[in-house]
Amino acid sequence: MLTPQELRIVSPPFLLNHIVVGILLIPWDSSRSILLREYAPATLGWVINLAIGLTILSLPVVLVFVMRAEYFRAVPFLIATALITMVGLQ
């Protein structure tokens, strides 16, 4: 059992970790299901890249809705959110 003080320290990285990993598993699962069907190689590459790009682009939006506002006061958290947004936009 965690005390309230310990829970305040552990919760932000725990939530961030599970959100990021959960969202980044989406393109892996979609590409795996795409590979099980028969697609032309060129189409397959576009579909997988589109799935990965949309997934990465959705990550900052999900973080804004799921994480509490107080977590965004931390500079490393803001930097990580900005970086993942820039990666998704490229």
pLDDT tens sequence across 52-67: 778 778 887 888 888 7
- With respect to residue 43, please indicate whether it lies within any of the assigned structural domains: yes
- With respect to residue 72, please indicate whether it lies within any of the assigned structural domains: yes
Q: What angle do CA 21, 17, 7 make, to 5 degrees?
A: 150
At 17-32, the pLDDT tens digits run 787 777 777 666 666 6
pLDDT of residue 85: 76
Say how far apart CA 90 and CA 73 lie, in whole Å: 26
pLDDT score of 37 more than 70: no
Specify the DSSP class assigned to residue 13. H
Number of domains in the chain: 1
Which residue range is the domain that position 44 belongs to? 16-89
